Structure 1
């Protein structure tokens, strides 16, 4: 009987740490990439290779689109530098509407990858502890469960929240995957439209020997509507609080 117990328990030991391997791999690649890729994924690199990229797009559009999405997914999934450059490149290569679609698709897939990796590791541990917590943590957990979609939309729409934080934090507190995917795909559309539109005119910017102005995101006519959407997503939480249904 003791042998059987020992045999049954042996396979459980590696599982406790192997489930952290995806997140460890992501963190390792992110750290290495931060020091090695910053000079390569840049507007200078794009300007130097613009003719080759446009020629490849014209000769094999599908291959180019698939390659672009794959690279962008890797950038997001491993939190590598260059996400803004990739978004602008989408507009430069594919135009506003197709570029926005590819940007949103790639960013969503990359976000889901890091979400699943984090949830499989630290997320399981932290979520279980929050489920068993009492007092203030329990109220926070219950409030999050009741307002998951609103909170996730706010994480995506408020520009001061880094994209990788909006990917990791939901996984660590145990939000539903379907809600994460839904709010990510919709919540990043406004920002994707802005960056993609910058890319549409990137050829003229390069011709003038200039770099694209990413500060456009903070222009009042751009940031205003985005913050308005963030405020709108917070309305269900405000209404519940005013009605006294939940004390978050």
Structure 2
């Protein structure tokens, strides 16, 4: 095997590892990273937290980073757990930090394995592909915040797209951290109220983010993020 194919394979190994673990985890961990597991172990978790607060914070963030970084099932449950263990604040800070770190792992793996080469090809292409690349480049901040603020965009996809179009690392990290705060705050607050939910023997309403009083403000933020792109279009047409 020549050196070039070997180097290409080595660059793709982190992304291959992430995808492999994600597939295995989807079949083996779904029953463990669940609301039922959290409900069954809630007293033990609270007891351990009270006795080892800083250790619990560190272990929680590390586990959350692994869940997101390897696209394992249970990210929503992890967010609820952050609220349950640490209240809305500082729980939301722990959740958003861990999710951002995990997202950055995926971003770097995708950029190292595919993104840099693909972005260079798109930059050197012509026609529609080049126009799409140029459009993203001209409005990177707006696009990055939009894919974070619109609930319909899957988190994994929002981590991959920036890597494949050559977004700088610092822009990805900043937009991810700030862009996931609204949704993270909603689910963390739901997690903070799990004590009452457990007492009633119920399950939390995870569709709350689509309730009008939650969804409309988030869409308003998305519209604000899209405003610079709209203004640029009007300037071009003028």
Asked if these proteins are the same fold (TM beyond 0.5), I'd say: yes
- Give yes or no for the alignment of 1:18 onto 2:10: yes
Instruction: Give the Cα–Cα distance (whole angstroms) in 2 for the partners of residues 120 and 145 of structure 1.
Output: 19
Q: Which residue of structure 1 aligns with residue 106 of structure 2?
A: 114
Matched, 1:134 2:126: yes
Unpaired segments ≥5 residues, structure 2: none
- Name the residue aligned to 2:173: 181
Shift of 1:97: 1.1
Alignment of 1:207 with 2:162, yes or no, is no
- Runs of 4+ that moved beyond 2 A: 9-13
Superposition deviation, residue 14 in structure 1: 1.7
Residue 11 of structure 1, CA deviation: 4.5
Where in structure 2 are the equivalents of 1:57-72 lying within 5 Å?
A: 57-72=49-64
1:27 matched to 2:7: no
Query: Unpaired segments of 5 or more residues in structure 1?
Result: 1-8
Aligned to 2:160: 168
CA shift for structure 1 position 124: 2.1
Shift of 1:10: 5.8
1:196 is matched with 188
Aligned partners of 2:180 and 2:20: how far apart in 1? 26
* Residues 175-212 of structure 1: CA deviation (Å, up to 9, x unaligned): 11111001000000000100000011101101111111
CA distance in 1, matches of 2:216, 2:71: 27
Question: By how many angstroms is 1:125 displaced?
Answer: 2.4
Residue 139 (structure 2) aligns with: 147
| TM-score normalised according to structure 1 size | 0.93
Which residue number corresponds to residue 6 of structure 1?
none
Q: Say yes or no: does 1:73 pair with 2:65.
A: yes
Cα distance in 2 for partners of 1:38, 1:136 equals 40
CA distance in 1, matches of 2:119, 2:25: 29
The aligned counterpart of 1:244 is 236
TM alignment of 1:97-112, pairs within 5 A: 97-112=89-104
Q: Which moved more, 1:82-91 or 1:10-19?
A: 10-19
SS of 2:72's equivalent?
A: coil
CA distance in 2, matches of 1:118, 1:52: 38
Hey, what does 1:227 align to over in structure 2? 219
Q: What's the C-alpha RMSD, in Å, of the aligned pairs? A: 1.4
Bigger mean CA deviation after superposition, 188-197 or 123-132: 123-132
CA apart distance, 1:174: 1.2
Number of residue pairs the alignment of both structures matches: 238
- TM-score for both structures, normalised by structure 2: 0.97
